[in-house]
Structure 1
Amino acid sequence: MGKIQKLSLALVGLVLGASLVACDDGRSGAQDAAKQLASAVAALDVGSVAFDGKDSGQANDRLKAVFKALDPAKPTVAAGELKLEKDTATVPLDYSWKIGAGEWKYTVSAQLKKADGKWQTVWSPELLVPGLADTEVLGTSSDTPQRADILGAGGAKLVTYRPVVHVGIDKAQLEAADPAGPAGKLARLVGVDPAAYTKQVTASGPAAFVAAITLRQAGRTITDEQIAAIPGARAIPDTLPLAPTRGFARAVLGTVGEASAEQIEKSGGALRAGDTTGTGGLQQQYDAQLRGTSGIQVFAQTEGLSAEQRQELLNNGRRVLFQEPMKPGTALKTTLDPRLQQLAEDVLADVGPASAVVALRPSSGAVLAAASGPGSNGYDTALLGQYAPGSIFKIVDSLAMFRNGMTPDSKVDCPPTLTVDGRTFKNAEGYPASSLGSVTLRDAFAHSCNTAFINARGKVSQAQLESAATSLGVAVEAPSLGAAAFLGSVPGEAEGTEHAASMIGQGKVLLSPLAAAVMAGSVAKGAPVSPQLVLNPNAAAAGSPAPSAGPTAAPSSSAPAPAKSSGKPVTAAEAASLADMMRAVVTSGHADFLASVPGAPVGAKTGTAEFGKDNPPKTHAWIVAVHGDLAVAVFVEDGGLGATTSGPLLKEFLTSAAG
């Protein structure tokens, strides 16, 4: 290429570049400044923004003061279409705040000015909120609805607001006196740690009320006179959402208390300091439904007002910028029967190990009682426990055997012991010699002959066991329950000693007390029972997602996942044969102590399952029963034999329930 041609191209490029610069009206610079402003305001930090008429640091301090009441919320801010006129520009800023359950949206107009070749934002408090004056900041107020009740069968109030007193030291009443002495006396009176409480009182402010304990008004033994006798001590009346007693269905219902910092952080703005929220059980699962949503106001107020001035402003009306109305929670309806639940709690009151009583109505699947004993230490053994069921699983074995052509009158072989792949199985201690040898399936079931059922392993596959279990409503999901639960697991594959162990409810077979009651209930109903505890699981609080309609607890590492649905449902004829054999457990087997229970004839099955590595091994004690339209499972984790440990508990429950 010649020199003249190169020079021509260079001149063309120079002219073209000059024309592009000439056509630039400054819009891109203004747009960049507008985007920077929107991003900085959204971060609530405008320290890097150049302002006209305000130092950037002062503008940043002002912004933080204006929005302090909304902390920790931050807005999303978007810059709209910019309008340019020479060295000035205007741009709309669209704000959106998440305030409680609502969304506060507004638009302000930002002014930009070009000086010394740079675009700056013209400072105005109206950049932040429409109509905001230089001396104003935002304030908030909220109204929190009372928490909705948890109801039981027939609309009975299981959890409702009940009278309490907060007992503590009011330091304002002590004036300058040393609080240590009164604090120690009060701690000893109400039964809390004196050293810890005294330290808490001493460290609190001079006008603080420091609660030592909250007592139910009903039945409290510490009197107002005893409290008043201690200088500075007070009993402040209040109401709190409580069950009838401290332990009533506690593991199922959960508790209510002031939201922790962790709960507030995880709530995504739904909870604020001082709010009450559910912890554990149904209170946590359905917290949004029960809590409702607080009403909230955002308003403009003069900075630095005293409490009295703020109250006067409230009384005389204030400039409200945003308002979200309060929405009350929705009561949670459950099937729990207060009388039967309390009866179950009473039956387990003196049981040391983890334990449970579950009672349900087979005809509807309604869970009437789900009690976990004091030895469960707050764990929901009734619904979430995962335990080898032992011989109560022979109900499942028998159904599988019926489907292979047997009947209750079919003969089976019941030897004293049986060895499978080097492992010896035997019957429970005290097994009657008269029921050894060739006996009917009914007799083997009534006396719980382990060897007879293990002998059937060649004719009943593991897959057939799994299918029979799901036919009886266990080892499946529980979509209608409305609460976290474990409905059992039965592996579909097992061989040798593992399959033999499955035939007597051990190995990797696991049930919960709820699942055991479902299994027995399906026999009484003549069809699989689908348990139900919560009647309105989808009635979520407005503005909140509907709670899960029946999650299942994650199985342990040894438990296969539950089936999505049952196999071939148990038929009425199959259930009648199972009921016949369960009745024989009472009339001729080792649950004859249930014969005296009043009302309908009782059918039952006991179970004992070995666990651990002790010699002799520890055992889970089980018993299930059907009594009219009632199915009950009783479980004791470390309880010896089902008949001798869980049996008397069951008899006490059934006898009292029938009364």
Structure 2
Amino acid sequence: MMCVLALTAAVLAACSSGRPDARDAADELAAGLTRQDVSKVPFVAGGREPQADLERIVKSMDGAKPKVSVEDVSEDDDTATATLRSTWTLSDDDWTYSTPVTLSYVGETWQVRWSAAVVAPDLAADDRLRLRTTLADRGDILGAGDTPIVTERDVRRVGIDKTKVDAAQVDASARALAQLVDIDADAYAKRVTQAGAQAFVLALVVRADGGGAPSQEQLAGVPGAVQLAGSLPLAPTRTFGQPMLGVVGEATAEIVQKSKGAVQSGDMVGLSGLALRYDRQLRGTPAVTVEAVPSAAGAEPRELFAGKAVAGKPLRTTIDVDLQASADDILADVGPASAIVAIRPSTGAVVALSSGPGGDGSDTAAGGRFPPGSTFKLVTALTLLRSGLTPSTDVPCTPSITVDGRTFTNYSDYPGSAIGDIPLRSAIANSCNTAMIAERDKAPQADLADAAAALGLGPDLDLGYPAFLGSVPTEAEGTERAASMIGQGRIEASPLAMAVVAASIAKGERVTPTLLADTPTTAAAAAKKPLSPQEASQLQELFRGVVTDGSGRFLSDVPGGPVSAKTGTAEFGTDTPPRTHAWMIATQGDLAVAVFVAEGESGSQTAGPLLETFLRSAAS
């Protein structure tokens, strides 16, 4: 009997629950609008197909989606009214509104009455939404003393204006202009042909104060070709600070996709270097506008929402504009990859970071990995000083030395007067290879790595910019061990790293380089054995001796105070005779400099003249 009563109660409970709650249907609609997929929402039959209509309405919202929730639902017999709350996060602005939605109870289910106004308030049946962005003012890249480096500069945009040329002439005009400005004719003609009938299709951008643009007479000969005035964030010259600064241009498809709506097609963004890495800071926040666009020809769009642009913030660097320009000019005609790096020993500020055009756009200055050759002998000297030698200690400089079957010699024009048992200061001044190798038992490989770290070569640092600070293995045997004593084998450094070594010797303690003024580089962990005052004094003596008594004598008359320097030549490749990298590092006052040429005669012959020119320009 009790079982029968229980079953009867359950049936009565199911019946008494009546029809479903209208809120469930409203919640399902809100979830579908959030996903922009309402294909599973029950709608009242008749009228437009809701999913297709929704896709039409939001097609021009560039992938933006709202977050929709149900605020309230009220039921009155077979009709219910739900209030939806929609929030679109557009850049840094939120567009929030409420919309009423009517539901009807049909066939034992609550069904939604679809209309365009379900998506956004006051949308007429044929209206659609359109998202527009207006870019904010881009922040400048500044140099030392907040001198503008990359800032808005006048340009000329050359291209085809399709409103000024007959459709039948478009392809021929595009090809003629492409030939005129020396770009791929097929690719440009395709872009012009596929663009809208009202489009201006860019072919070339040139600086207003430079050459390279076709003359007005030349453009007049190509129907539809025009030149428009504009501006772009640019450095003082096309080559200034490249590739460090990078370039700004139209966003690539990959950048647009990765931005998740923050960047739209056609936006100007950083494409490389600092401009790319700090693009979000420099780009700022665009102003976002949402419009209701009627379908009727000639009808004006209605503004539904307008956000505010937030200008980009400048990026402050330590680059000295005059020194950077001088370094760039000096390297302009150097064929192989090359670099000049300059640092202030007192602060670690990087004041010039120049990579020559021979590197084909690669960052030779900060990212290059090359054996530093004899410039590394100052690290070797520190290791020997720590073993008990002094600048006056005699070391054996022989014409050659053989290690495990490999013969090492000095460079071809090594002075005969510096052969024999000579003081360490003379071996460094004249760059004797054999003396360094002969003393290798007094400079274990691990100690060599420790000495390098004490001078800033090797510690991993984050400059806020990709950089390689060098690598010195802690273990090496045989010929590799011998080669390590003269900066070869597996030892690698960038020009930036060797400028740090020079700066550390000048300051008497390890220097941490900094490129970004507002975010100084965090110093690496303390060296296992930091440079002592006595060691610093002895290294400074050896460094200076290269100019007073050795291979750097040609720098003795450079104005501006005493110069210390070290030449370096490093063999590479398998050619016979081997090809050589050319290095030279120097200090003068509060300036430490490294010069590198990927292939040259020697440090003094190839890198030396470039270094001298740079020092003289810095002193003027």
Provide, for residues 67-93 of structure 1, a one-character-per-residue CA deviation record: whole Å limited to 9, x for no partner: 223131123334567667776656554
Provide, for residues 378-431 of structure 1, a one-character-per-residue CA deviation record: whole Å limited to 9, x for no partner: 011111111111111111112222222322112222233333333333222222
1:370 corresponds in structure 2 to: 353
1:485 corresponds in structure 2 to: 467
User: In structure 2, what residue type is equivalent to 1:403?
Assistant: R
Check if 1:616 corresponds to 2:607: no
Instruction: Tell me if structure 2 keeps the 8 A contact 1:477–1:564.
Output: no
d(CA) in 2 for partners of 1:574 and 1:591? 22
Instruction: Tell me if structure 2 keeps the 8 A contact 1:477–1:565.
Output: no
d(CA) in 1 for partners of 2:478 and 2:77? 90
Question: Which stretch shifts more, 518-527 or 196-205?
Answer: 196-205
Q: Which residue of the other structure, out of 3, 8, 32, is the alignment partner of 1:40?
A: 32
1:346 corresponds in structure 2 to: 329
User: In structure 2, what residue type is equivalent to 1:96?
Assistant: T
2:482 corresponds in structure 1 to: 500
Q: Which residue of the other structure, out of 120, 129, 133, is the alignment partner of 2:111?
A: 120
d(CA) in 2 for partners of 1:199 and 1:74? 33
SS at match of 2:333: coil
d(CA) in 2 for partners of 1:569 and 1:324? 55
- The offset of 1:115, in angstroms, is 2.8
d(CA) in 2 for partners of 1:35 and 1:82? 10
RMSD, aligned CA? 2.9
Check if 1:573 corresponds to 2:534: yes
- The offset of 1:514, in angstroms, is 0.6
Question: Which stretch shifts more, 644-653 or 420-429?
Answer: 420-429
Instruction: Tell me if structure 2 keeps the 8 A contact 1:516–1:624.
Output: yes
d(CA) in 2 for partners of 1:646 and 1:497? 27
* Counterpart mapping for 1:26-175 below 5 A: 26-27=19-20, 32-52=24-44, 54=46, 58-79=49-70, 93-175=84-166
d(CA) in 1 for partners of 2:366 and 2:236? 21
d(CA) in 1 for partners of 2:288 and 2:190? 37
User: In structure 2, what residue type is equivalent to 1:239?
Assistant: S
- The offset of 1:138, in angstroms, is 2.6
User: In structure 1, what residue type is equivalent to 2:565?
Assistant: A
2:362 corresponds in structure 1 to: 379
User: In structure 2, what residue type is equivalent to 1:489?
Assistant: S
d(CA) in 2 for partners of 1:565 and 1:112? 71
SS at match of 1:533: coil
User: In structure 2, what residue type is equivalent to 1:294?
Assistant: P
Question: Which stretch shifts more, 254-263 or 487-496?
Answer: 487-496
Q: Which residue of the other structure, out of 339, 360, 384, is the alignment partner of 2:343?
A: 360
- The offset of 1:109, in angstroms, is 5.0
- The offset of 1:508, in angstroms, is 1.9
2:254 corresponds in structure 1 to: 262
- The offset of 1:131, in angstroms, is 4.8
d(CA) in 2 for partners of 1:68 and 1:169? 28
Instruction: Tell me if structure 2 keeps the 8 A contact 1:476–1:565.
Output: no
Instruction: Tell me if structure 1 keeps the 8 A contact 2:62–2:261.
Output: no
1:455 corresponds in structure 2 to: 438
- The offset of 1:287, in angstroms, is 0.4
Instruction: Tell me if structure 2 keeps the 8 A contact 1:621–1:638.
Output: yes
d(CA) in 2 for partners of 1:325 and 1:176? 39
Instruction: Tell me if structure 2 keeps the 8 A contact 1:362–1:629.
Output: yes
d(CA) in 1 for partners of 2:168 and 2:69? 58
Q: Cα gap change, 1:395/1:220 in structure 2, threshold over 3 Å: closer, same or farther?
A: same
d(CA) in 1 for partners of 2:204 and 2:171? 17
Provide, for residues 264-291 of structure 1, a one-character-per-residue CA deviation record: whole Å limited to 9, x for no partner: 0111211012210001110001101111
d(CA) in 2 for partners of 1:632 and 1:422? 37
SS at match of 2:323: helix
- The offset of 1:230, in angstroms, is 4.8
d(CA) in 1 for partners of 2:394 and 2:574? 35
User: In structure 1, what residue type is equivalent to 2:255?
Assistant: Q
User: In structure 1, what residue type is equivalent to 2:86?
Assistant: Y
Check if 1:228 corresponds to 2:210: no
SS at match of 2:150: strand
d(CA) in 1 for partners of 2:189 and 2:290? 40
User: In structure 2, what residue type is equivalent to 1:101?
Assistant: D
2:286 corresponds in structure 1 to: 294
SS at match of 1:395: helix
TM-score of the superposed pair, with normalisation by structure 1: 0.86
User: In structure 1, what residue type is equivalent to 2:514?
Assistant: Q
Q: Cα gap change, 1:436/1:277 in structure 2, threshold over 3 Å: closer, same or farther?
A: same
SS at match of 2:49: helix
Check if 1:398 corresponds to 2:381: yes
User: In structure 1, what residue type is equivalent to 2:532?
Assistant: T
Instruction: Tell me if structure 1 keeps the 8 A contact 2:338–2:597.
Output: yes
Question: Which stretch shifts more, 345-354 or 116-125?
Answer: 116-125
Check if 1:244 corresponds to 2:227: no
Provide, for residues 339-395 of structure 1, a one-character-per-residue CA deviation record: whole Å limited to 9, x for no partner: 211211121122111111111211121211111111100011111111111111111
User: In structure 2, what residue type is equivalent to 1:249?
Assistant: G
User: In structure 2, what residue type is equivalent to 1:508?
Assistant: R
Provide, for residues 551-577 of structure 1, a one-character-per-residue CA deviation record: whole Å limited to 9, x for no partner: 9xxxxxxxxxx9655444323432221
User: In structure 2, what residue type is equivalent to 1:141?
Assistant: R
Q: Cα gap change, 1:143/1:193 in structure 2, threshold over 3 Å: closer, same or farther?
A: closer
Question: Which stretch shifts more, 590-599 or 181-190?
Answer: 181-190
Question: Which stretch shifts more, 261-270 or 81-90?
Answer: 81-90
d(CA) in 1 for partners of 2:61 and 2:195? 27
1:309 corresponds in structure 2 to: 299
Instruction: Tell me if structure 2 keeps the 8 A contact 1:599–1:658.
Output: yes
d(CA) in 2 for partners of 1:534 and 1:295? 28
Structure 2 spans left out of the alignment, 5+ residues: none
d(CA) in 1 for partners of 2:493 and 2:562? 26
d(CA) in 2 for partners of 1:173 and 1:505? 64
1:280 corresponds in structure 2 to: 272
Q: Which residue of the other structure, out of 432, 450, 457, is the alignment partner of 1:467?
A: 450
May I ask how many residue pairs the two structures share in their alignment?
619
- The offset of 1:648, in angstroms, is 1.4
1:21 corresponds in structure 2 to: 14
d(CA) in 2 for partners of 1:587 and 1:524? 16
* Counterpart mapping for 1:309-348 below 5 A: 309-310=299-300, 318=302, 320=304, 322-348=305-331
Q: Cα gap change, 1:15/1:189 in structure 2, threshold over 3 Å: closer, same or farther?
A: closer
Instruction: Tell me if structure 2 keeps the 8 A contact 1:526–1:573.
Output: no
Check if 1:583 corresponds to 2:544: yes
SS at match of 1:49: coil
Check if 1:521 corresponds to 2:512: no
2:611 corresponds in structure 1 to: 650
- The offset of 1:190, in angstroms, is 3.6
User: In structure 2, what residue type is equivalent to 1:487?
Assistant: L
TM-score of the superposed pair, with normalisation by structure 2: 0.91
Question: Which stretch shifts more, 524-533 or 74-83?
Answer: 74-83
* Counterpart mapping for 1:200-215 below 5 A: 208-215=199-206
- The offset of 1:515, in angstroms, is 0.7
Q: Cα gap change, 1:271/1:648 in structure 2, threshold over 3 Å: closer, same or farther?
A: same
Structure 1 spans left out of the alignment, 5+ residues: 1-7, 538-548, 552-561
User: In structure 2, what residue type is equivalent to 1:404?
Assistant: S
SS at match of 1:499: helix
Question: Which stretch shifts more, 616-625 or 91-100?
Answer: 91-100
d(CA) in 2 for partners of 1:150 and 1:84? 60
Q: Cα gap change, 1:109/1:465 in structure 2, threshold over 3 Å: closer, same or farther?
A: farther
d(CA) in 2 for partners of 1:399 and 1:237? 59
1:534 corresponds in structure 2 to: 516
Instruction: Tell me if structure 1 keeps the 8 A contact 2:174–2:192.
Output: yes
d(CA) in 1 for partners of 2:595 and 2:578? 20
- The offset of 1:450, in angstroms, is 1.8
Instruction: Tell me if structure 1 keeps the 8 A contact 2:99–2:118.
Output: yes
2:596 corresponds in structure 1 to: 635
Q: Cα gap change, 1:405/1:205 in structure 2, threshold over 3 Å: closer, same or farther?
A: same
d(CA) in 2 for partners of 1:297 and 1:65? 18
User: In structure 1, what residue type is equivalent to 2:324?
Assistant: Q
d(CA) in 1 for partners of 2:615 and 2:232? 34
Instruction: Tell me if structure 1 keeps the 8 A contact 2:72–2:84.
Output: no
d(CA) in 2 for partners of 1:21 and 1:197? 70
Question: Which stretch shifts more, 429-438 or 158-167?
Answer: 429-438
Instruction: Tell me if structure 1 keeps the 8 A contact 2:19–2:108.
Output: no
Q: Cα gap change, 1:23/1:436 in structure 2, threshold over 3 Å: closer, same or farther?
A: farther
